Amino acid sequence: MQQLSVPEGLPSLSQFSDPAAVLSYSNQQLRTRLEDEYGLVTDPDTLIIHTKTYAARPIGSYVVGGKPQPPATGTPVYTTRTLTLTALALENIEWLDLNFTNFAWLTDKDKAPYTALTVAQVKELVRKVNIGDSYEQFLKTRLVSSSEAHADQDRYAQLMALQLRVDAIEAKIAGDFLPDRLDRGYNWVMSALAGPTDDDKRPTVEEHRIIVSSLKLRGERVRGVLVFSTASHSVTSLVVYTPGTANGRLFHEYPDASAMHRDFINHSAWRDYLTARVELSARPRIQNLLKGGANEAVIALSRIAGHFLEEAYQAEASAVINDANAQSTSTQEANLESAATLVTAALDFATLFLPVKVMLPIGLSRSILSIINAVEAAQLGDRTAAAQYIVRALGEMVGAVIDGAIGGARSASRGIATGAKLNPKLALRNKPTGVKPLAGWEDQQIYVQDTATPGAFEAPRHFLQESGRWYSIRRDHDRQVWRLKDPRRAPSAYPGEPLYRTVQGAWEIRSPLIGLFGGSPPTGPETALMDLFPHLDLQQARRVFESFNFPAFNNLEHQMSLVFRLSRAPDQLDVSFAYLQTTQNRFWARLQGADLPSAQTVTAIDPAPGPSRPALPPRRPARSDAERFVDWGQAFAPQTMNPVPGRPGVWRRSQALQDYIKINGRYYAILPGDSVFATQGARTAIVSADLPHSTFAQFEHVVANAPLEQPRLVEYNAHLDTWLIHPQPPLPSSIATHMNRMFPRFDPLARAQLGASLFNTANPPGLTAKGFAHVLNTLQDWTEWTRGAAGTLTQRHALIANDPLALLPTLPRGPGPFEWSLGVSNGFNLIRFDTAGVRPTLVSNLLERPTQINIKTLMRELLTDSHYEVYDSRYSTELIFRRADRPTWYWLTLRKTHSPKLSAKQYNPQTPTPANLEGQRPTLRDALIQARDAGNLLLLIGGVELTGTWGVKPFIFRP
């Protein structure tokens, strides 16, 4: 046995899955096919295939007043890839791979053009030789079904039995089994060898039946590892056989399953061993599983019912075949990839025509599939792929939500139109007699009946014909509206619901809130208008709003927008405002409180078109929500606009401080604090006057609830001599949403305060152009950082901060002079962490043993998950970390407390001391000293607050 080539004394099957063996097989198959089909006697390794694809270009950033920057010199346009024909045959080529067909080229090893074959012939050759499938069939025949394989299996079983017997004897002599006077663990192994098949012929030990099991982690077989135990639950000990260990100890006996989980499976010393003995494709997933700690749900012992020695050979052969398959791609698999690409493209094209009710479940399904792929990529440790899948899932989810919102909006709009129609129960049973069209209202289906009783003097009666029904109506001279009469109620008690005619020509109820004169509380816009103009009472405020014909489904939003416009310019109103339905003179009179109902003379004359009901001005063409920003421009009289000195293309009105730019004859307000002027590539941001957005709360409200109303970027084009508006909003989601996505380990309050601090630091007096640019640049930089990409922004882009910790101010002491309060604060001066997503073992170990080592381990995990680069430091009371490739370093002193207060008596403001630095690695020590001398070393205090048996609250603040 000592003459065998492998340490275990068993024939090795892994040679068949060795990359060199797979490449050798591919080389031989290609040599044969080249000679048979093309008459070429050549080594496939000398034929070099070159491919290229477009390189992803870095995304630029918005800089106020800046010009577009061309890509840096030397930035690659393409990424090239070079491989031999032998290696290409393992990867295979999709039949739909047009990039290979159109852009690949062939050379020899000396980089001279290779003309004996074309690219198309190489593609056909690789797909025909089909190494991925042919090598799998070769291995199945050689290792499983052939007579040679059966002979190898018998020889493998015989040698393994001898090896197990020798190893068990050595383990018994070395005392590797648990102490037992009857040598129970050793006898279990001998019993299994005496009866390799699990049947009645296997000898019992102490009247217990012995079983042999294989170990599986999340369904993946750990090759070679065998577990010997009894069929009775009264005996809990387990004997584990681990061939090929580095220390030479092959048998381990554990008193129970929990001990095996703790000391074997979840022990860091065994992690590499267990990972190396699972299939090649499953190793990243199992490695990640063992790092986080495998629980009982993913650990399984599978009983081997047959001949366990022969089963060991079959497991080795199966693993070799699977490992070889993981190194190659068959033509069938390549065809499936092409088919999936075609199906995806066809589905994307079909979505252009499918209805919303079909697109909504499709979008949700695709989003869920992307989330599943993201989870799998995260489990494999591929953060880049996980981030790509998450972004794709968010995009598909947003598309599905938009489809649902569109469908819901259509249903809602139909519901509103139906609910606002006239009540058929109030219609008259018969058509009134003696009616004629009312002069001036002929086209609106209003009729008058002069006298109902001959010989008697009566006021004229009015009727409305709508949808084939007749309704009795009356004229409200005070409110200047028609009201629907309810024959079931007395006119003195109920004046009737007000009516208005829509642009579609249908009569509808105007608003149920003003059905009773003065009988409803003031709405939000009415209260805001009375606060803005204190001389107006509730009745006068309602009179002002009646000057407009706002849509019923968002009437309150338009009223509040009107109040905001009046607060910005109380003496001006856009004369082309589409919803104004009265004259400007009457509107301004109502705003001054002069056009009151009591000022009207109540007469019995018939209403007729006149100053009270002028013809509506021509309406603007209806725009989609995505194009509504075009209507932000205002039509000011040219004589009221003055150019700003030294800033061509920028205007102001009279002595006002608001700056405007001119696009297509209309003036658009821009953010303050900007010195931009009309020059090629200049950028700024236009704003809507309808919604306030100066403070953080206002800005977040706009982005979250009306994202299309957020400031839009514009760029000056000198060739067209105009400003071009970017059609897409700068922020696809609110700042709070960005923080939740980028820093999930921060608790919700810390994320909310971080977003507010980011905005307020950039915009102390309110939103400005420079502050807006700083916010956009910082969000883009942090997004790239948290996605794992290298940051493309530099200091010349004036970032607010390189990372969230740089925004932390000094936490003031209190309530006592020698302590810090860790309670809830209104400002961003303390970061709490959420431990819900960390490994449960970290929290449980800390609760059981709140040592500095366990605190440091938990904080390291939280900082790593928050995208920081943590360095190994010598002492357990400190953590050193930074954002990669940025100059700022952080020295975190670790503490623990059992209350929401932390003592400051042990705080040393001179940290790190020379002794602290002396104990670090030389490279780390030099970097820290350099950062301290440059003012880039920030001191932090962090740790955990232990609250009871189950409470762990990690925190970080700046002392």
Q: How far apart are CA 34 and CA 407, in angstroms?
A: 60
Q: What is the mean pLDDT of residues 199-210?
A: 90
Nearest to 703 by CA among 737, 727, 677: 737
Residue with tokens 């303390």: 830
Per-residue confidence band for 360, with pLDDT thresholds at 50, 70 and 90:
confident
Residue type, 621: P
Lowest mean pLDDT among 180-189, 213-222, 441-450, 621-630: 621-630
Inside any domain, residue 543: yes
Look at residue 337 and tell me if it is in a domain: no
Chain length of the chain? 959
User: Residue 245 is encoded by which pair of tokens?
Assistant: 């260990």
On the CB side of 415, CA atoms within 13 Å amount to 7
Higher-confidence position of 436 and 566: 436
Q: 403 falls in which pLDDT band (50, 70, 90)?
A: low
pLDDT tens digits, one per residue of 496-547: 888 877 766 788 886 544 433 334 567 778 888 887 777 777 878 888 888 8
Residue 89's pLDDT is what? 93
The arithmetic mean of pLDDT across residues 280-297, rounded, is 86
Positive or negative torsion for Cα 523, 525, 531, 535: negative
Cα separations (Å) of 38 from 32, 48, 117? Answer: 10, 17, 9
Gap between the Cα atoms of 214 and 221, Å rounded: 7
CA distance 639 to 341: 60
Asked if residue 685 belongs to a domain, the reply is yes
Q: How does pLDDT run across 36-50, given as a tens digit for each residue? A: 888 889 999 999 999
Q: Is residue 848 scored above 90 in pLDDT? A: no
What is the amino acid identity at position 465? Q
258 CB contacts (<8 Å, ≥6 apart)? Answer: none
Amino acid sitting at position 550: F
- Within a domain: 605: no
* Mean pLDDT confidence for 762-781: 89
pLDDT confidence tier of residue 492, bands split at 50, 70 and 90: low
Last residue of a domain, one of 707, 725, 743: 725
Same domain, yes or no: 476 and 558: yes
Euclidean distance between CA atoms 696 and 772, whole angstroms? 11
Beta-carbon neighbour count of residue 768 at 10 Å? 19
In the three-class reduction of DSSP (H, G, I as helix; E, B as strand; rest coil), residue 891 is classed as strand
- At 915 the pLDDT is 81
Nearest residue to 676 via CA among 634, 628, 713, 629: 713
- 217 and 130 within one domain: no
The answer to whether residues 637 and 579 belong to one domain is: no
**Which pLDDT score, from 0 to 100, does residue 8 have?**
45
Give me the pLDDT at residue 577, please: 57
Whether 260 and 242 map to the same domain: the answer is: yes
Contact present, 713 and 721 (Cβ < 8 Å): no
Note the pLDDT tens digit of each residue in 712-741: 888 888 887 888 888 788 998 999 999 999
Q: Do both 467 and 562 map to the same domain?
A: yes
The set of residues, in sequence order, having a beta carbon less than 8 Å from that of 50 and lying 6+ positions away, is 80, 81, 82, 104, 105, 106, 107
Least confident of 110-119, 627-636, 811-820, 858-867: 627-636
Residue 573: closest CA among 562, 560, 582, 581: 562
Percent of the chain with pLDDT over 70: 84
Task: Check if the beta carbon of residue 50 is closer than 8 Å to that of residue 81.
Answer: yes
State how far the Cα of 415 lies from the Cα of 397, in Å rounded to an integer: 26
Distance CA 552, CA 417 (A): 9
Which of 142, 168, 200 represents a domain boundary (last residue)? Answer: 142
Residues 811 and 710 in one domain: no
% of the chain with per-residue pLDDT over 90: 31
428 and 405 in a single domain? The answer is no
In a domain, 773, yes or no: no
Which of 208-217, 502-511, 529-538, 913-922 comes out lowest in average pLDDT?
A: 502-511
Q: Each residue of 91-101: b (16+ CB within 10 Å) or e?
A: ebbbebbeebe
Q: Tokens 């709490």 — which residue?
A: 832
Residue range 91-103: average pLDDT? 87
Span 769-775, average pLDDT: 89
What is the pTM for the complete model shown?
0.44
Number of Cβ within a 10 Å radius of residue 522: 15
Total domains in the chain come to: 6
Least confident interval from 79-83, 237-241, 307-311, 859-863: 79-83
Does residue 316 lie within any of the structural domains?
yes
Q: Which of 108, 142, 176 is the last residue of a domain?
A: 142
| pLDDT category of residue 73 using cuts at 50, 70 and 90 | low
C-beta atoms surrounding 762 within 10 Å:
22
Residue 303: which pLDDT band, with cuts at 50, 70 and 90?
very high
Q: What is the mean pLDDT of the chain?
A: 82
Q: How far apart are the first and last CA of the chain?
A: 68
Residue 918 lies in a domain: yes
Please tell me the predicted confidence (pLDDT) of residue 520.
Answer: 53
582: its two tokens? 């009265």
How far is CA 781 from each of CA 792, 798, 802, rounded to the nearest angstrom? 7, 11, 8
Phi, psi of 940 (to 5 degrees): -130, 155
Nearest Cα to Cα of residue 740 among 767, 774, 777, 779: 779
Provide the β-strand partners of residue 213. Answer: 227, 303
DSSP 243-268: TT-TTS--EEEESSHHHHIIIIIS-G
Domain that holds residue 657: 625-725
Name 412's Cβ contacts closer than 8 Å, sequence gap at least 6: 553
Side chain identity at residue 948, one-letter code: G
**pLDDT at 192 > cutoff 80:** yes
Residue 585 sits in the same domain as residue 535: yes
The Cα–Cα gap between 343 and 345 comes to 5
Domain-located, residue 589? yes
Residues 85 and 102 in one domain: yes
Is the domain of 313 the same as that of 363?
A: no
Query: Cβ distance 388 to 369 under 8 Å?
Result: no
Rounded CA separation 376/389 (Å): 10
H or E segment to which residue 871 belongs: strand 869-871
Same domain, 881 and 948: yes
DSSP secondary structure of 18-78: SHHHHHHHHHHHHHHHIIIII-----GGG-EEEEEEEPPPPP----TTPPPPPPPTT--SE
Surface-to-core class of residue 750, CB atoms within 10 Å of its CB (0-12 exposed, 13-18 middle, 19+ buried): buried
Same structural domain for residues 212 and 125? no
pLDDT greater than 90 at residue 910: no
Give the count of alpha carbons within 13 A of 108, CB side only.
Answer: 8
Sheet holding 210-217, edge to edge: 251-254, 238-241, 220-230, 210-217, 299-303
Residue 583: count other Cβ atoms within 10 Å of its Cβ: 13
| pLDDT at residue 115 tops 70 | yes
